A and B are shown apart, each in its own frame.
Chain A
Amino acid sequence: MTLWRRQILAIIRIDLAKTFLAKRGLWIYLLAFAPLLPLVGHWMFGRGNMANDQLGDDVQAFAVIFQFFYLRIAVFFGCVGIFMNLFRGEMLDKSLHYYMLAPIRREVLVVGKFLSGMSAALVIFCGSVVVQWFGIFPHHGTQLFSSFMTSGPGLSHLMSYLLAAALACIGYGSVFLWAGLRYRNPLIPAAILLVWEGLNGILPAVLKKVSIIYWLKSICPVSLPTPPGTKGNIWSLLVFDIDPAPAGVAAINLLLLAAFVIVAAALRARRLEISYAAD
């Protein structure tokens, strides 16, 4: 195995333990698995009212939770917590210099740290999608659920949601990793991105595409209809009233964005100085 691959594996080993086992990362798990609460409630109360409980309603409910809460809140803030800490957190702990004193290129360090953050984010957030999926649908009965998954659109929906969650982790993660390297207080650029992504619903069509959420929405398998009477009011901020791009194009664009941002982060890392007093 080449040296840089061994180094990346070593970085992943060091960082994964910190990400998965850190007490200060507990809120990320809570955020990732928060959608289970309404889903469990729905499952419990829906059992008593099976006649009115349609599988199609659950498909819609899952889409609403996924698009409005999971992508915009859970994955977004989860990635803030995971990826910003990769560099900025170690600067605050005054332990980043140990990496800088090893025979490792800064570019390899950035890639290694991104991969470690990505691994943690994928396990947590894609894992949560699977748990949510199996939390909401099986109460319709084994036969219907099995049929939904094998003969119906269930499996392809699940794959699309997993792809969207994974690309959200990669897209947001790359941006937050760069921000953690570039800014002393990376929460400010994160807040700006949050506002920009939040305003997506009311932006002109061209500007909608200058966002991550637009491309993620394009991958989601279920389009949410605009509720009547929401045009121009606060609810329109949450509505994706757009023509989605093909899922393949959306996925490639998000991967290209992540690659571009990681290159920018690597260039930044090459000039990085360790001066904790200034941080």
Chain B
Amino acid sequence: MSSEIVFDNISKFYGEILGVNKINLSIPPGITSLVGPNGSGKTTLMNLAAGLLRPTRGTVEICGLSPNDPEHFFRIAGYATQYDGFPKGLTGYQFVHAYLRLFGFSPADTERMAWEAIERVGLLEAAPRKVAGYSKGMRQRIKLAQAIAHKPKVLILDEPLNGLDPLARAETIAVFRQLGQEGSHVLISSHILHEVDLISDQVVMMSQGYVVAEGQIRGVRDEISDQPMQILIRCDRPEYLAARLFDKDQVVEAKLHADRQGLLVRTRSAESFYKLLNHIALNGVCIESIAPADDDAQSVYEYLIGNSGETK
């Protein structure tokens, strides 16, 4: 059985409006982030993966199972949607417990699993209270508890960090990491790009219904050849270093860092630039650190989709 999430030539049209088009993806286990601006098709893609929408064309399979076979599919898959609706009148515990009963576990197992999930998202104290009285962050977490309660191998989460305070955000990211380390798939859509860097093993970048890039962020950055690579060099003599670099072909731009403790260089060829830097360092510049400055999701996203594309 395949262990991947496979979108095979998936298209979805809402009448004449494009949702997503010709998506071909094969996502390995680990934490994968879907990023893209409003209307780029992230939620459509997630809803297609979970069977809430039917593709106009193509097929989706998760670990070899189709969402058209819900009896088997949802044993291994869990989905926390971005919909903020809840059945009326239920407490947090009743909400998780009620839908867990649909899995057919024994009453004792159902109760135990419901409490375990609630504990994992840190809502033990609030569980006996009505969901209607929860804050946005608590509602996000109880949805996450409902999605992970049956211990799925594949977890799909649409904007799971929305509305969480910093502490809850850190705790929730820790849960994702733990799930990823346990070999689960975690497919997340998020608009907070620095968190995408923090939590993702790979990214899928979307724009206007198409996938524009996929893979590990650094790998994606390396493939963007039309944008010079930015490198931050921390050294004792940044002005001297800048003067030495100005006339070199590899260097497109060199400017002092705002704190004047380093130099920000843009180069078309990182490899040949590093060789050059080694040579300069041997001639009396003490280099403390060298680090790529634009191989994060934010930069890659801006290169691919542009500054104007406000993320969702």
> Which residues does A use to contact B, with CB under 8 Å?
3, 6-7, 10-11, 13-14, 17-18, 21-22, 90, 93-95, 97-106, 271, 273-276, 278
Contact = CB atoms under 8 A, between A and B. Distances in A.
Given A14-B87, A271-B54, A102 B99 contact: yes
Nearest to A3: B104
Contact of A22 (B51, B71, B88, B104): B88
30 contacts: A7-B102, A7-B104, A10-B98, A10-B101, A13-B98, A13-B101, A17-B89, A18-B87, A18-B88, A22-B89, A94-B85, A95-B85, A97-B81, A98-B99, A100-B52, A101-B52, A101-B99, A102-B103, A103-B70, A103-B71, A103-B72, A103-B74, A103-B103, A104-B71, A105-B71, A273-B54, A275-B47, A275-B53, A276-B85, A278-B14
Given A10-B101, A274-B47, A101 B87 contact: no
The binding surface of chain B is classed by DSSP as mixed
A99 B86 contact: no
Task: Please give me the 9 A-B residue pairs with the lowest Cβ-Cβ distance, nearest first.
Answer: A94-B85, A10-B101, A102-B102, A103-B74, A274-B52, A95-B85, A3-B104, A94-B83, A6-B104
Contacts of B51: 100
Nearest to B79: A101
A102 B152 CA distance: 11
Contacts of B50: 101
B181 to A, nearest CB: 24
Given A6-B101, A7-B102, A103-B102, 9 more contacts: A10-B101, A13-B101, A18-B87, A94-B83, A97-B52, A101-B74, A103-B74, A273-B54, A275-B47
Given A97-B52, A273-B53, A278-B14, A104 B102 contact: yes
Contacts of A10: 98, 101-102
Q: How large is the interface on B (under 10, 10 to 19, 20 to 34, 35 or more residues)?
A: 20 to 34
A102 B99 CA distance: 7
B99 to A, nearest CB: 5
B73 interface: yes
B25 to A, nearest CB: 21
A96 to B, nearest CB: 8
Interface of B: 14, 47, 50-54, 70-75, 78-79, 81, 83-89, 98-99, 101-104, 146-147
B74 A274 contact: no
Nearest to A94: B85
A254 to B, nearest CB: 30
Contacts of A90: 87
Contact of A101 (B71, B78, B86): B78
Contact of B75 (A7, A13, A103, A278): A103
A10 B105 CA distance: 11
B83 A97 contact: yes
A13 B98 CA distance: 8
A105 B69 CA distance: 8
Contact of B102 (A93, A99, A275): A99
A93 B54 contact: no
A98 B4 CA distance: 24
Contacts of A99: 99, 102
A106 B52 CA distance: 12
B53 A93 contact: no
A94 B81 CA distance: 11
B247 to A, nearest CB: 57
Contacts of A97: 52, 81, 83
A18 B81 CA distance: 22
Nearest to A15: B87
